[in-house]
Chains A and B, each alone.
Chain A
Amino acid sequence: MFELEQSIAEWRRQMLAAGIKSPVPLDELELHLRDDIERQMKSGRSKAEAFEISVGGIGPAGPLRAEFEKDGHLGKARQRKWAGIVFAAILGLYFLAVACVLFKNNLTFDERLSGFASVATMLVSAFIAWKIAPRFFPVLANYAVQSAIGIIGSISGMGWFLAFACLILPRVDFTQAQLLVMTLWAIVPVMLLPTISFLVIDKSERQQLTTGRS
């Protein structure tokens, strides 16, 4: 004896097992299924036939999950866009802050020029890393390698700055102005190393989404 409710519950379990885990689309799909079963039965089909036809109409779980993942893909694209805007804003603010510091302090023309050159280097490097370098980055399929790159990128910038502050600075005798300019140059890798590691991971993730691996 065919049990409609039991079959619907089993279909729902299969959808969940296939990866459609969010309750809202699953509820919606189930309501759709029930509407269609009802229509099929009104046209004279048995419960079992109606169920089979309606489930076939909704389609298998795999392609459905892929469609929902595309939706997630778009969400990530939006997040990526916002991350880019925030990063550009941070760089812009950094440039303004450095300009203020360089003009307020008593620096020679060369020192001031070097300070601005450090900021320009950071801006140009960030632009190249964002626009051009990803073409040459490898696609890392292994999640563990991606994580390792992320961790290394995050701590290497800070590690470099600590080394600069603890090992390099105590050994040299700088004036206050020279110290300021040197610090500005030392900040460049602090910003760039995590950025590059982020871009490497981002490229790998995008590639995997495009080729359908999640």
Chain B
Amino acid sequence: MYCIAMLTKELVAASTEPLILTILSNGESYGYALIQEVKRLSGDKIEWTDGMLYPVLHRMEREGWIASRWGEADTGRKRKYYSLKKDGKKALERQREQWLTVSGVFKQLWKEQYV
């Protein structure tokens, strides 16, 4: 994954899977919508190089975290929809705990530092 905006590409790469898992935990979605959603939620600070999302999605599908199906959009255009599987929910839980731990540590450190 490349980051065009403010986050480093390493951080963007590390957060890609949990972000996808979290969005899909709210319901099925497709590649383009996932990118737009992340862009919107991050205030344009996370911008994936669009094409790079698909290898990640395919990898996650092979891991058994997500499933895909071909469907049709309202416009009649074909779309590949992704949804979260049971193993994906477990993976999300694990990753969520890790991110919360890191976030919690930063919160405490920076609270002490800037008070």
Q: Does B50 contact A25, Cβ atoms closer than 8 Å?
A: no
Residues in A with CB closer than 8 Å to B58 are: 25, 68, 71
Contact B80 A31 (CB under 8 A): yes
Q: B52 touching A29 by the CB < 8 A rule? A: no
Assuming the contacts A28-B80, A36-B32, A59-B2, asked whether A74 and B50 have C-beta atoms less than 8 A apart, the reply is: no
Q: Is the CB of B52 within 8 A of A59?
A: yes
If over half of A's interface residues share one DSSP class (helix, strand or loop), that class is named, otherwise mixed; here it is helix
**Contact string, A31-75, partner B, CB cutoff 8 A, digits 1/0?**
110111000000000000000000001110001100110110011
Q: Which one of A24, A35, A70 lies within 8 Å of B32 (CB-CB)?
A: A35
Expressed in whole angstroms, the minimum distance between the Cβ of B46 and any Cβ of chain A is 14
Q: Does residue B43 face the partner (Cβ distance < 8 Å to A)?
A: no
CA distance A20 to B20 in the complex (A): 23
A27 to B78, CA, bound (A): 9
* B51, B56, B78: the one within 8 Å of A31 (CB): B78
Of all chain A residues, which has the CB nearest B51?
Answer: A58
CA distance A31 to B79 in the complex (A): 7
Give A162 Cβ to nearest chain B Cβ, in Å: 42
Tally of contact residues, A, Cβ under 8 A: 21
Tell whether B15 is near chain A: CB-to-CB under 8 Å: no
Q: How far is the CB of A24 from chain B (nearest CB, A)?
A: 8
Q: How far is the CA of A36 from the CA of B79 in the complex (A)?
A: 13
Contact B59 A64 (CB under 8 A): no
Chain B 58-76 near chain A by CB (<8 Å), digits 1 or 0: 1100100000000000000
Residues in B whose Cβ lies below 8 Å from that of A70:
55, 59
B22-47 contacts to A (CB < 8 Å): 31-32
Known contacts A35-B32, A57-B50: A71-B80 contact under CB 8 Å: no
Cα A20 to Cα B81 in complex, Å, equals 21
Q: What residues of B have a CB within 8 angstroms of the CB of A29 in the complex?
A: 51, 54
Q: Which residues of the partner chain A approach B49 to less than 8 Å between Cβ atoms?
A: 57-59, 63
Chain A: CB-nearest residue to B61: A71
A64 proximity list for chain B (CB < 8 A): 51-52, 55
Q: Contacts A31-B79, A36-B32: A74 and B59 contacting too (C-beta < 8 A)? A: yes
Closest A residue by C-beta to B78: A31
> Chain B residues near A58 (CB, 8 Å)?
49-51
The residue from B32, B55, B77 contacting A25, defined by CB atoms under 8 A apart? B55
Shortest C-beta distance, B54 to chain A (Å), equals 5
Q: A64-B51, A75-B62 are in contact. List 13 more A-B contacts (CB 8 A).
A: A27-B78, A28-B31, A29-B54, A31-B78, A32-B31, A32-B50, A59-B51, A63-B52, A64-B52, A67-B56, A70-B59, A71-B55, A71-B62
A-B contact pairs, 12 of them (CB 8 A): A24-B80, A28-B54, A31-B32, A31-B80, A32-B54, A34-B77, A59-B2, A67-B55, A68-B55, A71-B59, A71-B62, A74-B62
**A-B pairs with lowest CB-CB distance, top 7:** A67-B55, A58-B51, A35-B32, A59-B49, A57-B50, A59-B51, A64-B51
